[in-house]
Amino acid sequence: MTTDIVIYHNPECGTSRNALAMIRNAGIEPHVIEYLKTPPSRALLESLIARSGMTPRELLREKGTPFAELGLGNPDMTNEQLVDAMMEHPILINRPLVVSPLGVKLCRPSEAVLDLLPTGQQGAFAKEDGEQVVDAEGNRVST
């Protein structure tokens, strides 16, 4: 199926890998952007933040980043300063960020991506850690 879905992906991140696998389990091959290699422009990043309904602070990743060293936990930091930091250090952009005809969303946990897919799952799906997310009939498993 050809559907315009974009995933801002980090292949080193299990959550990102799981979201990508669920997109593919719906029969969709998304446009995969490894954002650490090809970061979005400032205008695109600001647009994605706005379209997701998030604030720049909500998109910031703390773990495994220079978040603390840069003082980004300071509540006085402006949205512009936070976006500046993400532009300078793309690792600060949390992932996976998924864009579909149904919206833009930070897919944490990874099964949040199911809300953005215009087609259902084609079969069972379990995350890398073995957690069952979709049953054999393609239905979301509630936790």
Q: How confident is the model at residue 143 (pLDDT cuts 50, 70, 90)?
A: low
Domain boundaries, the chain: 6-134
Q: What is the pLDDT of residue 7?
A: 98
1 pLDDT above the threshold of 60: no
Q: Is 13 a residue of the active site?
A: yes
What is the CATH number assigned to the segment(s) 6-134?
A: 3.40.30.10
Q: Are 126 and 18 in contact (CB under 8 A)?
A: no
Residue where the block lists tokens 């979301």: 140
Q: How confident is the model at residue 33 (pLDDT cuts 50, 70, 90)?
A: very high
Q: List the catalytic residue out of 13, 72, 106, 113.
A: 13
Q: What is the pLDDT of residue 65?
A: 97
Q: How confident is the model at residue 66 (pLDDT cuts 50, 70, 90)?
A: very high
Give me the chain's average pLDDT, please: 95
> Per residue in 52-65, pLDDT tens?
999 999 999 999 99
Can you give the pTM of this predicted structure?
0.93
Cis peptide before 109 (omega within 30 of 0): yes
Q: How confident is the model at residue 142 (pLDDT cuts 50, 70, 90)?
A: confident
DSSP 56: H
| Tokens (6 digits) for 100 | 């579909």
User: Helices (H), strands (E): how many in the chain?
Assistant: 4, 6
